[in-house]
Amino acid sequence: MIDRIELMQIGKLNLVRESWNWGDILQFEHTELMPSPYSDDEVQTVIDFDSAKELIKHLQQFIDECEGFHK
């Protein structure tokens, strides 16, 4: 069974944590609903100060929990 938690959104990116029976993964997800057929769409995401602080909080929590799992 998979537990899936959407932690935060930065621009078009979603930070998602999935917990599997063998461990956890942390990933950014992005879905382009209507990509241009004529050229590559460049996606840029700006991380502001508050988003950076929240991202660090989620990353540190993930690291702390994974280190506890691997000990």
Q: Cite the beta strand spans of the chain per DSSP E.
A: 3-10, 13-20, 23-29
Q: Is residue 37 part of a domain?
A: no
In this prediction, residues 11-30 reach a mean pLDDT of: 87
Considering the domain boundaries, does residue 58 fall inside one?
Answer: yes
CA distance 19 to 3: 5
Distance CA 21, CA 57 (A): 24
Indicate whether 39 belongs to any domain: no
The domain of 60 spans 3-30+46-70
pLDDT at 35 exceeding the cut of 80: no
Q: What is the pTM of this model?
A: 0.69
Listed residue (3, 30, 29, 7) closest to 18, CA to CA? 3
Number of domains making up the chain: 1
Residue 36 placed within a domain: no
Q: Comparing 71 with 17, which gets the higher pLDDT?
A: 17
**40 assigned to some structural domain:** no
DSSP 39: S
